[in-house]
Amino acid sequence: MDKAAAKITSFIASNAAVYDWISQSIWENPETAFNEEKSSAIYRERLADSGFQITEFPEMPHSFMGEKGSSGPVIAFMGEYDALPGMSQRCSTSREPVSPGAPGHACGHNLLGMGSLAAAEALAYAAQESGIPIRVRYYGCPAEESLGRIPLVKAGRFNDADAVMTWHPADVNTPHRYTTSANLALIFNFTGKASHAAMAPQTGRSALDAVQLFNLSLEFMREHVQPGVMLHYVISNGGDRPNIVPSKAASFLYIRAPNAAVIRSVAKRILKAAKGACLMTETGYSIEIQHGKCDYIPNDTIQDVMAQAMRGIPLPEPAEAERDFMKTLQATVPKADRLATLDPIGAPRELAAQVWHDSCGDFGRGKRIGGSLDTGDVSYVAPTGQMNAATWPIGVGAHTWQSCSASGSSWAFKAARWAGACLALSGFMLAENPALLEKAKKEHRRTAPPYRSTMDL
C-alpha cells in the first residue's frame, strides 16, 4: 500500500498544474445543470489524451464514460461538473458576485469532477506500473443538482462496475458513512373552471381551492406517516388575479424518506389526497414528476478501504496566505451556525473551534442526513463508496457564497487533489485484492434491494 500511495501521490503531483487548471477553468465558467457543454468537453478531451476510450451516453446531454484497460475488475469513479444558478461569487472573503444573478460553483463540483479525474488517471498509472489488470472508468455525470444520474442508472450504465467511488467537497475529511434521504419531487397541477369571482362565482371551480385543501391534507398526514418522512411544498401557481376564479393552480412537493420503498408507500397516499381535493372542489389534477433519488446505501467494505486510504495519503498543508484566507472566510459564518455542518453527520462539535480540518475523521455511521444524492441510485446497482474532503473552512456549508468562494481557492485545489489520491489508492487496494472486492460485492447483494427509481411510482 505504501508503494502504491507513493506512486499515486507523485503522479498527481507531477500533473498538479493541469489538475489545478481544470478546477480553475470550470470554476470560472460555471455551467448549470443540462448546460455543461464546455465542462464536459474538458474532461472528455483530457481523458482521451490520457488513453481513455470515450463513450458518450444518449440518456443525458453531456454525460459520458471514459475507460482505460482491457481486463480485470471495473473500478469506477464518478465526476460532477454542474454549477448552481444565482450563486456567482468571487474568490474573496466577502459577498461579492462576479456577475449578480449568474451561476456559481457553490457545491464545489469544479473540484469534484477534477478530483475524480485525477483518481482515474493515477489509478490507471499505478496499476499499470504494478502489473495489476484493471479497467478504470470515469463517469461524467451532469445535472447533479437536478435530475442527476438517474437516467444513466436506469439504462444500466453502472451494472457491470465492480466498485464505484466518488467524493464531495466539504469542511471535513471523512468517509461518507452516513446515508442520505430518498426523495421524490413532483408538481400537482389542478385544473378548474374560470369565472368572474364576484359576478358569477357559482359557475367557477377554483383550482387554488384544490391546492389549498391538498396542502392541508399533507399537514394532517404528517402525523401518520413513518418516522423520518418529510413533506415540503410551495404553491408554484396560485392563479393570476383575485377577481378571476383560478382555472389552474399547482403545488410543488418534495417527499423525503429513509428509503425508496417508504417514498412509494407515502406517494400512494398523497395521490389519494389529491383525488380527494378534486372531489371536494369539482376539479381535476395531473402530476409532473420532476426528479427523484434513492437513499444511499454505503458499502462498509469499500468505506473501510477508503478510510484506510485516507490515512495512507499525507494531508496537504495550507500555505500562510491560504490559512489567512480560510480564517477570514470562516469568520463570516456565525459560530452557532458552524454546528449545522457537523451535527448531522456526527462529527465532533469540538471541530467548530478549528479553522480547517487538519486530520482524517471517520464520522456518520448510522446517521441519515435530510438531503438526497443521486449516488443513492448507483448504490442500489453497484457496490459504492464515498468520502468527503475538507476543501472549505469548518462550518462552511454547501450552496453558500462562502463555499463558492472557497471552491475557487488554491487551498481547495490542493485538497481536491488529495481527495483524488485517496480515491485512486482505494481503487488500487480493491483491484489488488480480489477477496476484498468479492467481500464488497457480497455485502452489496445482502444490503441493496432490487433497484427501482423513486420516479417510477
Going from the C-alpha of 394 to that of each of 2, 251, 252, 404, the distances in angstroms are 29, 37, 33, 14
d(CA 244, CA 236): 17
User: Residue 376 Cβ, how far from Zn ion at the closest point, in Å?
Assistant: 13
Per residue, the 3-state secondary structure of 340-361, as one string, reads HHHHHHCCCHHHHHCCCCCCCC
User: Residue 139 Cβ, how far from Zn ion at the closest point, in Å?
Assistant: 15
> Considering beta carbons, is residue 107 or 305 the nearer one to Zn ion?
107
> Considering beta carbons, is residue 107 or 387 the nearer one to Zn ion?
107
Cβ-contact 230, 182 below 8 angstroms: no
> How many CB atoms neighbour CB 3 within 10 A?
11
Residue with cell 380527494: 276
Scanning 104-112, 211-219, 280-288, 411-419 for contacts with Zn ion by CB under 5 A, the matching segment is 104-112
Q: What angle do CA 409, 415, 420 make, to 5 degrees?
A: 130
User: Tell me, what amino acid is at 452?
Assistant: R
> Considering beta carbons, is residue 259 or 388 the nearer one to Zn ion?
388
User: Residue 398 Cβ, how far from Zn ion at the closest point, in Å?
Assistant: 6
Going from the C-alpha of 128 to that of each of 69, 72, 173, the distances in angstroms are 9, 12, 29
Q: What angle do CA 387, 432, 442 make, to 5 degrees?
A: 65
User: Residue 423 Cβ, how far from Zn ion at the closest point, in Å?
Assistant: 16
> Considering beta carbons, is residue 107 or 245 the nearer one to Zn ion?
107
User: Residue 144 Cβ, how far from Zn ion at the closest point, in Å?
Assistant: 6
User: Which contiguous run of DSSP H or E holds residue 292?
Assistant: strand 284-293
Scanning 101-109, 155-163, 424-432, 440-448 for contacts with Zn ion by CB under 5 A, the matching segment is 101-109
Q: What is the DSSP letter of 170?
A: E
Scanning 106-114, 150-158, 225-233, 402-410 for contacts with Zn ion by CB under 5 A, the matching segment is 106-114
Residue whose beta carbon is closest to Zn ion: 107
Residues in the chain, overall count: 457
The bridge status of strand 64-68 relative to strand 384-390 is unpaired
List binders of Zn ion among 390-419 (CB under 5 A).
Answer: none
> Considering beta carbons, is residue 107 or 267 the nearer one to Zn ion?
107
User: Residue 84 Cβ, how far from Zn ion at the closest point, in Å?
Assistant: 9
> Considering beta carbons, is residue 87 or 186 the nearer one to Zn ion?
87
Contact between 147 and Zn ion (CB under 5 A)? no
User: Residue 318 Cβ, how far from Zn ion at the closest point, in Å?
Assistant: 23
User: Residue 62 Cβ, how far from Zn ion at the closest point, in Å?
Assistant: 16
User: Residue 115 Cβ, how far from Zn ion at the closest point, in Å?
Assistant: 12
> Considering beta carbons, is residue 374 or 432 the nearer one to Zn ion?
374
> Considering beta carbons, is residue 107 or 253 the nearer one to Zn ion?
107
Going from the C-alpha of 276 to that of each of 202, 217, 248, 250, the distances in angstroms are 21, 9, 17, 15
> Considering beta carbons, is residue 107 or 182 the nearer one to Zn ion?
107
Cβ-contact 130, 42 below 8 angstroms: no
> Considering beta carbons, is residue 215 or 386 the nearer one to Zn ion?
386
Scanning 102-110, 215-223, 254-262, 410-418 for contacts with Zn ion by CB under 5 A, the matching segment is 102-110
User: Which contiguous run of DSSP H or E holds residue 187?
Assistant: strand 182-191
User: Residue 244 Cβ, how far from Zn ion at the closest point, in Å?
Assistant: 41
d(CA 303, CA 257): 23
Scanning 60-68, 103-111, 267-275, 325-333 for contacts with Zn ion by CB under 5 A, the matching segment is 103-111
Residue 95 grid cell:
459577498
Q: For Zn ion, how many residues bind (rule: CB under 5 A)?
A: 1
List binders of Zn ion among 107-146 (CB under 5 A).
Answer: 107
Question: Taking Cα atoms as reference points, which of 104, 67, 66 lies closest to residue 85?
Answer: 104
Q: Which residues bind Zn ion (CB under 5 A)?
A: 107
